Amino acid sequence: MDRRSFIKSSLLAGSGALARTRGLAARSGELQEPGPGAVRISEMRRARFPDGFLWGMASAAYQVEGAWNLDGKGESNWDRFSHTVGKIKGGATGDVACDQYHRYREDVAILKRLNQKSYRFSTSWARIQPAGTGAVSQRGIDYYSRLTDALLEAGIRPFCTIYHWDLPQALEDRGGWPNRDLASYYADFAGILAKNLGDRITTWAPFNMPWTFTYYGYGVGVFPPGKTSFDQFLKAAHTVNLAQGEAFRSIKAVSRYATVGSAYGMAPAYPKTASEADRAATARYHAMNNLYFLNTAIHGEYPKAFVGETPYEAMGFKPGDGKIMKVPLDWVGFHYYTRRIVSHANERCLSGNVRHYGTETEGGGGSASRDPMTQIHVEMPTEGPLTEAGLEIWPRGIYDLAMQISREYNHPIIEISENGCCYLDAPDETGRVPDTRRIAFHQQILAELARAIADGARVRAYHAWSLVDNFEWTDGYTERYGLTYVDFRNQKRTIKDSGHWYGRVAALNRLDV
């Protein structure tokens, strides 16, 4: 089946789901011949999720809150970056974003209406400590306290990601993440949050996608502060590893209910050929992109991500750092968006040789490496259909990843902290948003997740990205991942068909709803 017929059948699968809910008989066999990577509709119908499975949605402070300079909030690196001409598509900023700072009640009501059990949000460090260290803003704490209470009243678990990329600019001015001092500043911040909210929030993830913000920010310069040095990336990542360990302890010290996990970005990687060199390169990709912050926590050691020795000196690694990094995470959270094909790169390169698709990366032109030390060449395949962000839909990837992490880390409790797709569907003349491709996407991914659960992966939660369309980093407002449409001219929310569908899934623990 070619790509065009696959998309057609995906659409049919989505509209089939809708037709069933209106009491029409489902036509059998819409997906009897699935395209590359797709799941058969019969498997989708069989998929079941355990009782108590945590259906959720995710967001991030800078992407949704707005109120960038209200109530004493300090400037963040993303405020500075988005206010710099030429950095964000369309000159967009997060100054207002979805205005969730003022509209959180409306957003929590949507979550409740859609039967959600978990909301993953993040905190803005500069809202709580405007200068990154020292003085705490009570108004900042109060906002997250109100949000937490609203969630709990709605019967929704508050899942707090402490840091989803927005650093107080004052700390960037002191060298940002390559400055090792940030580890203890960050641990103080995490402790402040846990002290003030830890009586009600029990689920904490220190960092969202730590590889992405350190590599994009300091290695290849597409995120703030726009630096392009592999050494700076190594140092930044090491500080973050120390910070993760220190924060684990500072949270647990003040909140006995706290559980601390993660929100890593991961992509299952497959070797381009069966050659030993490609298989070794794939293992290095996995170590660098998926395990660089997980193995350090669980084993207190860097995974083998480099062709040569681990560059401890360039990282700024000191004796005893292994002990600081090592913490028994209570659960492992990761996002899945798409897969990678990896091969061995013959030529090294001096600086980041990457193409980025939003927050996903491929890299290495020709036979060159993506960066100077891993000698990996990374491709984002196009065998399956693509979303409107250009990412390949590969449902099986979530199965492979959940099984691989389960095998390699002794069957931890897993939370899918994000998964989603960009489609630009907008309200039609009746005001409805018929985003059938998004329904088909989630159906497929969730069928593969259910298969991983049936095969022993201890997955307890799934968070769709995202509750609302929002500020999509350097893509500004040109991409829409929400299950709720936002009209950014007037902040009007419209739950998309995918949101209504997902609400029924959450109520029934099944996909054929």
Binding site for ligand FCB (CB under 6 A): 60, 63, 208-209, 265, 335, 358-359, 418, 465, 472-473, 481
Closest CB to ligand FCB among 232 and 474?
474
Instruction: Please give the C-alpha separations between residue 305 and each of 114, 140, 301, in angstroms, as whole numbers.
Output: 42, 39, 11
Residue 82 has φ and ψ, to the nearest 5°, of -75, -20
Closest CB 473 distance from ligand FCB, rounded Å: 6
Closest CB 394 distance from ligand FCB, rounded Å: 16
Residue 101 has φ and ψ, to the nearest 5°, of -55, -35
Strand (E) or helix (H) holding 238: helix 230-254
Residue, CB closest to ligand FCB: 359
Closest CB to ligand FCB among 63 and 116?
63
User: Are β-strands 157-163 and 118-122 bridged in parallel, bridged antiparallel, or unpaired?
Assistant: parallel
Closest CB 211 distance from ligand FCB, rounded Å: 11
Closest CB to ligand FCB among 265 and 364?
265
Residue 456 has φ and ψ, to the nearest 5°, of 110, -5
Closest CB 302 distance from ligand FCB, rounded Å: 23
Instruction: Please give the C-alpha separations between residue 48 and each of 44, 70, 313, 344, 449, in angstroms, as whole numbers.
Output: 9, 45, 49, 39, 10
Closest CB to ligand FCB among 237 and 315?
237
Exposed/middle/buried for residue 200 (C-beta within 10 Å: 0-12, 13-18, 19+): middle
Closest CB 149 distance from ligand FCB, rounded Å: 25
Closest CB 137 distance from ligand FCB, rounded Å: 24
Instruction: Please give the C-alpha separations between residue 249 and each of 194, 211, 302, 327, in angstroms, as whole numbers.
Output: 11, 22, 20, 8
Alpha-carbon span 382 to 3, nearest angstrom: 10
Alpha helix stretches (DSSP H) within 319-384: 321-325
Closest CB to ligand FCB among 60 and 506?
60
Closest CB 360 distance from ligand FCB, rounded Å: 7
Closest CB to ligand FCB among 371 and 418?
418
User: Are β-strands 492-495 and 484-487 bridged in parallel, bridged antiparallel, or unpaired?
Assistant: antiparallel
Alpha-carbon span 378 to 365, nearest angstrom: 9
Per the CB < 8 A criterion, the answer to whether 447 and 510 are in contact is no
Question: Residue 24 gets which letter from DSSP?
Answer: P
How many other β-carbons are positioned within 10 Å of the β-carbon of residue 309? 9
Alpha-carbon span 497 to 451, nearest angstrom: 25
Closest CB 82 distance from ligand FCB, rounded Å: 14
Closest CB 223 distance from ligand FCB, rounded Å: 11
Closest CB to ligand FCB among 120 and 451?
120
Closest CB 483 distance from ligand FCB, rounded Å: 13
Alpha-carbon span 287 to 280, nearest angstrom: 11
Closest CB 6 distance from ligand FCB, rounded Å: 22
Alpha-carbon span 101 to 33, nearest angstrom: 46
Closest CB 220 distance from ligand FCB, rounded Å: 15
Closest CB to ligand FCB among 31 and 464?
464
Q: Which amino acid is at 450?
A: A
Closest CB 88 distance from ligand FCB, rounded Å: 13
Closest CB to ligand FCB among 265 and 412?
265
Closest CB to ligand FCB among 292 and 481?
481
146-177 in b/e burial notation, b at 16+ Cβ within 10 A?
A: ebbebbeebebbbbbbbbbbbbbbbbbeebbb
CA dihedral 20, 8, 417, 73 (to 10 degrees): -100
Closest CB to ligand FCB among 127 and 335?
335
**Which residues have a Cβ under 8 Å from the Cβ of 511 and sit 6 or more positions away?**
44, 45, 47, 443, 446, 447, 450, 505
Question: Residue 74 gets which letter from DSSP?
Answer: P
Closest CB to ligand FCB among 248 and 473?
473
Tokens of 160: 């707090």
Alpha-carbon span 430 to 217, nearest angstrom: 43
Closest CB to ligand FCB among 361 and 369?
361
